[in-house]
């Protein structure tokens, strides 16, 4: 186990390239199970969740070859077993993404309840309701037991625009008999990545990027080479980091086309940046100031399914708000436990009223003081890193495994920008 020791109040400077999108890499890895031919995945982030997903694939029978840094070939000839190992499944939520491919290849899967961040109740109902429409029988006996004789295309209306449920239903439907229509589908960039990869493999998916997917089932998928897109959540985190430390950063391959709502939301806190093709530059010395709504009303930043403001950036926005002049409401609509880390920010000196599990009112700016912190999940952990880097004095962040599940080689990359951060073993 490791911890971060951070000395704050030092500006950063330099260029940084964000990692590949974790939330695209995981379903794309699962999708390699859909064919017995080799799949080359490029720009794969070297993070803990990806390593665990690869271990699951190996146990299921995949051959995983590392071609170079961030590039892998995965080949799954014969699938060796139909059960996801409990000890791996409980470590990542993405383990459930093996359900659709295994149903398509084997007609059955035994799935332990998946793990992942504890950010509130994370329903699995939508997955099973969608798969049932394709003819899957779902039983629960300690494990989730999913079986089907033949996947049959159907019209599916998801009861929520769940990213992973959309991905699971899509991966099952591409090899189903007939046409499947998924309405109220998630349309996040990582869902788009998966669908584009599947089409390169020979699937027939229309409506990519919209909330209605039309999938014409095929008999077989082939191998392909696919590059994972930029992690726009990491880009948003780096923008927030640059703003609160008054730093000048250039983010390479930042995928600015996916930052439109982030730019609107961060603009309410006074953040601005410049775009040059695929790169963005955050100027130094930003004057963080809350932009009131018309009539001088207190504004809010709230999350929503794509193309709304990403829920994974709510924690980052909350830290930035502590450094902005004015009052703002941060409204987390989607996960009822994501904001419970704000007591740590209050302990650092932030003026925050946690109204309920979903809403916090922040009045700034306040000079944060270094503190002893524990990361509860990936995004809150990154928010703590950002808070520590703009605080006065030393902070120690424990349980950084949670952060490194989603951010590749974070401490070393931040040190290259001038951050005073050390990754040291726990005593």
Give the SS3 label for residue 156.
strand
pLDDT tens per residue, range 349-395 = 999 999 998 999 999 999 999 999 999 889 999 999 999 999 999 99
Tell me what pLDDT residue 338 has.
79
Pairing state between β 248-251 and 63-68: unpaired
- Asked whether residue 206 falls in the same domain as residue 262, the answer is no
Let me know if residue 400 belongs to a domain: yes
Give the end of a domain, one of 186, 218, 250.
218
Q: Quick check: 301 pLDDT over 50?
A: yes
Say yes or no: 156 and 300 in one domain.
Answer: no
Specify if 110 maps to a domain.
yes
Structural domain ending residue among the three candidates 175, 197, 218 = 218
Please indicate whether residue 117 is annotated as part of the active site: yes
Q: Are 255 and 314 in contact (CB under 8 A)?
A: no
Strand order in the sheet with 13-16: 13-16, 248-251, 279-282, 274-276
Please report whether residue 49 resides in a domain. Answer: yes
pLDDT at residue 124, rounded to an integer: 84
- Asked whether residue 223 is assigned to any structural domain, the reply reads no
300 and 384 housed in the same domain: yes
Half-sphere exposure of 290 (CA within 13 A, CB side): 27
Q: Is 224 inside a domain boundary?
A: no
Q: Domain end: 172, 187, 218, which one?
A: 218
* Separation CA 170–CA 177 (nearest Å): 13
Residues 9 and 51 reside in one and the same domain: no
Same domain, 267 and 336: yes
Work out the mean pLDDT of the chain and round it to a whole number: 94
> In this predicted structure, what is the pLDDT of residue 121?
45
> What's the whole-number mean pLDDT along residues 81-107?
90
* In-domain check, residue 59: yes
Same domain membership, residue 237 and residue 153: no
- Look up the pTM and report it: 0.93
Full residue range of the structural domain in which residue 47 is found: 22-218
Any domain includes 147: yes
Residue 71: CATH number of its domain: 3.65.10.10
Contacts of 321 (CB under 8 A, 6+ apart): 269, 290, 301, 328, 330, 362, 364
164 pLDDT exceeds 50? yes
Q: Which of 36, 49, 71, 117 is catalytic?
A: 117
The verdict on 366 and 263 lying in the same domain is yes
Q: What is the pLDDT of residue 120?
A: 39
Quick one: what percent of the chain has pLDDT higher than 70? 98
49 shares its domain with 135: yes
Residues 319 and 292 in one domain: yes
Domain count, the chain: 2
Is the same domain home to 157 and 264? no
């Amino acid at each position: 186990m490791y911890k971060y020791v951070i000395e704050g109040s030092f500006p950063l400077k330099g260029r940084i390239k964000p990692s590949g999108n974790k939330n695209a890499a995981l379903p794309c890895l699962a999708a390699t199970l859909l064919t017995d031919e080799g799949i080359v995945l490029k720009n794969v982030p070297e993070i803990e969740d990806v390593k665990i997903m690869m271990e699951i694939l190996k146990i299921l029978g995949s051959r995983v070859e590392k071609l170079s840094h961030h590039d892998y070939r995965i080949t799954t000839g014969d699938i060796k077993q139909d059960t996801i190992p409990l000890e791996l499944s409980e470590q990542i939520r993405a383990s459930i993404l093996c359900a659709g491919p295994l149903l398509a290849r084997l007609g059955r899967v035994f799935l332990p309840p998946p793990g992942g961040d504890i950010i509130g109740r994370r329903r699995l109902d939508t997955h099973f309701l969608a798969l049932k429409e394709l003819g899957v029988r779902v039983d629960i006996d300690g494990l989730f037991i999913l079986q089907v004789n033949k996947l049959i295309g159907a019209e599916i209306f998801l009861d929520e625009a769940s990213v992973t449920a959309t991905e699971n239903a899509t991966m099952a439907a591409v090899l189903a008999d007939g046409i499947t229509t998924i309405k109220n589908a998630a349309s996040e960039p990582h869902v788009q990545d998966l669908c584009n990869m599947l089409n390169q493999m020979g699937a027939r998916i229309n409506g990519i990027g919209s909330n209605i997917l039309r999938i014409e089932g095929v008999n077989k998928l082939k191998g392909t080479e696919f590059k994972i897109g930029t992690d726009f959540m990491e880009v948003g985190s780096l923008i927030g980091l640059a703003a609160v430390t008054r730093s000048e950063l250039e983010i390479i391959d930042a995928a600015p086309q996916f930052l439109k709502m982030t730019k609107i939301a961060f603009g309410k806190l006074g953040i601005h940046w410049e775009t040059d093709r695929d790169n963005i530059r955050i100027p130094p010395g930003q004057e963080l100031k809350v932009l009131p709504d018309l009539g001088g009303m207190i504004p809010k930043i709230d999350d929503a399914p794509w193309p709304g403001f990403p829920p994974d950036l709510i924690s980052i926005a909350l830290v930035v708000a502590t450094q902005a002049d004015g009052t703002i409401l941060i409204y987390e609509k989607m996960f009822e436990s994501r904001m419970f880390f704000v007591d740590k920010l209050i302990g650092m000196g932030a003026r925050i009223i946690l109204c309920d599990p979903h809403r916090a009112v922040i009045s700034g700016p306040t000079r944060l003081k270094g503190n002893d912190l524990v990361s509860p999940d990936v995004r809150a952990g990154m928010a703590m890193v950002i808070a520590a880097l703009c605080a006065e004095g030393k902070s120690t962040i424990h349980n950084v495994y949670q952060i490194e599940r989603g951010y590749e080689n974070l401490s070393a990359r931040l040190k290259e920008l001038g951050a005073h951060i050390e990754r040291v073993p726990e005593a």
